[in-house]
């Protein structure tokens, strides 16, 4: 194999070599691009489907992959060799970007199941479904060790215990790839261990943040899943967006310009010295989505410093950016900035992985054993959905139980209530058909069942009442209430809780607080209550536990809620059908601020808690420890209700005396930005030139009466335009509320919004409601300026936290609109 690789590398031009190292995104790539640039692989990002069709069929996917594969084959006609094309996708809990595919529980729930063989079977099932769409490579498993519950990707890890990550990293790679022979078949796919390294160990749980831990913690906590996965034969490792600040993380080209900013994507120490040399990893090291651009001395179109650090394949989304990376890399090699040997090493790794995957021997994507006409149906097969149901059942953790309550009888009168009772989005979480997974409906998940659906199937429609906000009478009205509560769906960036926020469930959002109030009402009415919590992370919910007769953590189980009712309800003969076997993969917080309390690792006798974490002692000791979970036969714990945590009272509101400037004739003291649909790296909006991206076009212009204005065109995808504190820190602006202030701005409407357009004052998780401006904007036209004035009391009433304001102005919509905005300020009345 190495002789084959050497021979091919010797015959490739520099441009062809670089083409093998650039991985564009489906929406920014054509077949002609593949032929011109000799592109070696491509990916589809979350929420990007063939021809933009959300419900694209399996055949649509196969035909698309086959189309690009054929273009690559044409590239090598007339040459003495060929290099097959690879397609990659984010299949992180099943083939989750494909309509109709089996969706498995997210990793945090699988961690609770504590069953490596289950993980191995899920990996094999996922591989079959990915292979059935003609794809070769997936970006899974995530083997991070999440250490701070505020992190928006917490659920992508199996739990805080490095031993669990070690066992599961090996098992999932074995399931996805199989052994050396199995990987060469068309039933398996290439696995990717991610994200190298310590993305779960950043200070304050910041996404793309900085880890300050020692190298010992880096190795003994954060590397364990990678070590096991590499031993199992993983052929790809994806690098983390995060940074590691440590003297060992050196600048590999000192004096070359802006100092190295410790981003792992630029770390020659972690990528080359450790991963490649010390660990002997000889597969592909791939970047995350446009992540090279966050390394100092790199940009969206220049990845030279990151390539020299050891990156082999560059995931670059935008068309202009990936073409620039290709041109710049070729030029830097010719100028000696990037050594030819570094490029040869990178392309050799790509060829090695393609050879190990048997791509030269596999038929074209449309003619493989799981894709050709007449092939067995694999996507969403009954066997795979039964496996997902089994995984759901095994992942449930029972935190509280009143002996004799569970399992519930299959007869009787059952109330199913709470914000998550009939909500597939809360069950599935992010990375489900779309990136954030927050806009799902039943048509997106064929065959899916909510808890309400699953309970009806058990007790019958006559015995089941589904009402998210019931009017309660006495205890005789219902035999039991199943109260389903849970977080709204989220993924990276949008799911991180800010450092100043509580991790109390009811503190996070008004709709969550209504779940707590519902539990109080049920307790007052005397109705026995079983609470089921859907969450991507442990949250403070002690009062919710106290108010429940049984409390079950279901994590993010996916769309097959029958796995929940399998355990909640008895079998036909009245005996337990299944017992609870899930155990906490992470400590459960005792207080609202215990976001980074983790168990002391038993395998490290000299372990010292890093400064990013809180020692698990005293008032911060876990409420429920790592590994906790009850069975149906366990006796009730002694003692009364669990102790509640009372938060400190807020200080008096600071006095205010004048307006708060946001945008006016003097410019803005804030950072103007755009985020939203598929905009993974948020875009800055300057006041000196236009900005255009997938979701918004923004152009500044002067006005005689209002100073600088912004013309904003929303293009029809979820998008938000906002003013952010440059420091990222919030300000206490409650004084404006006390003074009766309004948020005012001037507007001209060139195109009325096609969907509600909201005003908000946050950039926070979970997304708090805004004030719908649609009616106010109807009176505004394209010629004269109209003043929009919204009382802060109106924003406060929908849940805006004025104690912590880092974004004093935001407009967001899912539709199209074009408007001009100027003279934005908080004005005292």
Instruction: List the structure tokens of 494.
Output: 């949008």
Query: What is the DSSP secondary structure assignment for residue 272, as one 8-state letter?
Result: I
Rounded Cα–Cα distance for residues 93 and 635 (Å): 35
CA quadruple 225, 228, 234, 239: dihedral sign: positive
Helix (H) or strand (E) holding 563: helix 562-568
| CA-angle at 561, arms to 380 and 455, nearest 5° | 130
Rounded Cα–Cα distance for residues 703 and 709 (Å): 7
Nearest C-alpha neighbor of 455 from the set 595, 293, 567, 375: 567
Instruction: List the structure tokens of 696.
Output: 């918004």
Rounded Cα–Cα distance for residues 380 and 102 (Å): 5
| CA-angle at 560, arms to 573 and 124, nearest 5° | 110
Assess contact for 759 and 810: CB atoms under 8 A: yes
What is the Cα 447 distance to its own chain's centre? 24
DSSP line for 354-391: HHHTTTTTSPPGGGSTTTSTTPPP-TT-HHHHHHHHHH
Rounded Cα–Cα distance for residues 420 and 531 (Å): 11
The beta strand positions in 127-221, using DSSP E, are: 137-138, 192-196, 210-211
Assess contact for 146 and 199: CB atoms under 8 A: no
| Residue 281 CB contacts under 8 Å (≥ 6 apart), including other chains | 230, 237, 275
Assess contact for 505 and 538: CB atoms under 8 A: no
CA dihedral 534, 397, 432, 370 (to 10 degrees): -160
SS3 label, residue 64: helix
Nearest C-alpha neighbor of 599 from the set 622, 630, 623: 622
Query: 745-771: buried (b, 16+ CB within 10 Å) or exposed (e) per residue?
Result: bbbbbeebbeeebbbbbbbbbbbbbbb
The beta strand positions in 189-304, using DSSP E, are: 192-196, 210-211, 236-239, 243-244, 284-286
Nearest C-alpha neighbor of 46 from the set 315, 430, 434: 434
List residues with catalytic annotation.
288, 492
Instruction: List the structure tokens of 41.
Output: 């692989």
Instruction: List the structure tokens of 170.
Output: 């090996």
Rounded Cα–Cα distance for residues 829 and 826 (Å): 10
Instruction: List the structure tokens of 120.
Output: 């191995």
Assess contact for 577 and 407: CB atoms under 8 A: yes
Instruction: List the structure tokens of 31.
Output: 């077949």
Rounded Cα–Cα distance for residues 189 and 178 (Å): 9
Rounded Cα–Cα distance for residues 789 and 741 (Å): 10
Instruction: List the structure tokens of 689.
Output: 């030139």
Rounded Cα–Cα distance for residues 614 and 616 (Å): 6
Task: For the chain, report the end-to-end CA distance as a whole number of angstroms.
Answer: 76
Q: What number of other Cβ atoms are within 10 A of residue 80's Cβ? A: 8
Phi, psi torsion values for 742, nearest 5 degrees: -120, 150
């Amino acid at each position: 194999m190495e002789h084959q690789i050497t021979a091919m590398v010797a015959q490739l031009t520099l441009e062809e070599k670089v083409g093998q190292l650039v991985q564009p995104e489906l929406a920014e790539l054509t077949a002609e691009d593949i032929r011109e640039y000799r592109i070696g692989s491509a990916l589809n990002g979350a929420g990007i489907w063939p021809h933009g069709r959300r419900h694209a069929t399996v055949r649509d996917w196969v035909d698309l992959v086959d189309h690009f594969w054929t273009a690559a084959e044409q590239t090598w006609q007339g040459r003495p060799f060929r290099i097959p094309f690879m397609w990659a996708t984010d299949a992180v809990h099943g083939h989750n970007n494909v309509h109709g595919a089996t969706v498995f529980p997210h990793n945090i729930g699988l961690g609770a199941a504590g069953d490596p063989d289950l993980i191995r079977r899920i990996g094999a099932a996922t591989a079959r479904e990915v292979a059935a769409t003609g794809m070769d490579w997936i970006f899974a498993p995530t083997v991070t060790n999440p250490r701070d519950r505020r992190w928006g990707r917490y659920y992508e890890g199996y739990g805080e215990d490095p031993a669990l990550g070690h066992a599961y990293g090996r098992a999932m790679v074995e399931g996805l790839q199989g052994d050396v022979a199995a990987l060469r078949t068309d039933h398996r796919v290439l696995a990717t261990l991610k994200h190298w390294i310590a993305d779960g160990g950043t200070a304050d749980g910041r996404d793309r943040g900085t880890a300050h831990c020692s190298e010992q913690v880096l190795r003994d906590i954060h590397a364990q899943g990678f070590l096991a996965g590499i031993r199992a034969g993983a052929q790809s490792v994806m690098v983390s967006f995060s940074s590691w600040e440590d003297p060992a993380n050196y600048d590999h080209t000192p004096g070359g310009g802006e100092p190295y900013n410790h981003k792992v994507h630029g770390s020659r120490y972690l990528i080359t010295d450790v991963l490649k040399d010390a660990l002997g990893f000889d597969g592909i090291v791939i970047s995350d989505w446009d992540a090279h651009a966050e390394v100092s001395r790199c940009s969206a179109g220049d990845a030279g410093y990151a390539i020299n650090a050891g990156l082999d394949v560059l995931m670059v989304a935008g068309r202009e950016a990936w073409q620039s990376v290709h041109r710049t890399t070729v030029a830097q090699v010719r100028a000696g900035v990037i050594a030819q040997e570094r490029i040869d090493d990178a392309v050799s790794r790509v060829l090695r992985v393609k050879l190990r995957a048997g791509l030269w021997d596999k038929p074209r994507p449309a003619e493989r054993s799981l894709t050709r006409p007449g092939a067995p149906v694999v996507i969403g097969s009954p066997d795979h959905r039964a496996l997902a149901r089994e995984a759901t059942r095994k992942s449930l953790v029972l935190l509280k139980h009143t002996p004799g309550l569970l399992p519930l009888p299959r007869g009787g009168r059952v109330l199913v209530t709470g914000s998550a009772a009939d909500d597939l989005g809360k069950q599935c979480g992010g990375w489900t058909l779309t990136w954030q997974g927050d806009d799902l409906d039943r048509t997106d998940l064929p065959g899916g069942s909510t808890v309400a659906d699953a309970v009806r199937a058990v007790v019958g429609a006559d015995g089941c009442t589904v009402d998210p906000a019931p009017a309660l009478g006495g205890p005789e009205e219902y035999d039991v209430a199943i109260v389903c509560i849970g977080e709204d769906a989220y993924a990276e960036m949008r799911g991180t809780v800010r450092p100043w926020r509580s991790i109390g469930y009811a503190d996070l959002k008004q709709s969550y607080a209504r779940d707590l109030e519902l539990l109080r009402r049920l307790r007052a009415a005397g109705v026995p209550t079983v609470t089921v919590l859907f969450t991507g992370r442990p949250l403070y919910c002690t009062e919710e536990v106290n108010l429940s007769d049984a409390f079950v953590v279901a994590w993010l189980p996916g769309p097959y809620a029958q796995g929940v009712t399998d355990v909640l309800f008895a079998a036909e003969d009245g005996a337990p059908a299944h017992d609870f076997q899930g155990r906490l993969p992470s400590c459960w917080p005792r207080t609202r601020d215990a976001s980074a309390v983790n168990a002391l690792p038993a395998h490290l006798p000299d372990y010292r808690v890093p400064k990013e974490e809180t020692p698990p002692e005293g008032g911060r000791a876990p409420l429920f420890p790592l590994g906790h979970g009850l069975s149906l036969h366990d006796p009730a714990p002694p003692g009364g209700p669990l102790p509640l945590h009372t938060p400190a009272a807020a200080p008096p509101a600071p006095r205010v005396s004048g307006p708060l400037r946001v945008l006016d004739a003097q410019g803005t003291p804030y950072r103007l930005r755009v985020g939203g649909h598929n905009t993974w790296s948020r875009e800055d909006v300057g006041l000196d030139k236009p900005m255009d991206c997938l979701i918004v076009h923004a152009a500044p212009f002067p006005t005689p009466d209002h100073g600088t204005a912004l013309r904003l065109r929303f293009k029809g995808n979820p998008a938000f335009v906002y003013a952010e504190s440059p420091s990222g820190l919030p300000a206490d602006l409650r004084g404006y509320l006390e003074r009766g202030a309004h948020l005012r701005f001037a507007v001209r409407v060139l195109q009325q919004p096609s969907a509600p357009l909201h005003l908000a004052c946050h950039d926070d998780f979970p997304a708090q409601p805004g004030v719908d401006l649609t009616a106010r904007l109807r009176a505004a036209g394209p010629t004269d300026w109209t003043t929009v004035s919204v009382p802060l009391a109106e924003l406060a009433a929908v849940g805006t936290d004025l104690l912590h304001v880092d974004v004093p102005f935001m407009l967001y919509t899912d539709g199209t609109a074009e408007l001009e905005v100027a003279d934005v300020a908080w004005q005292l009345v």
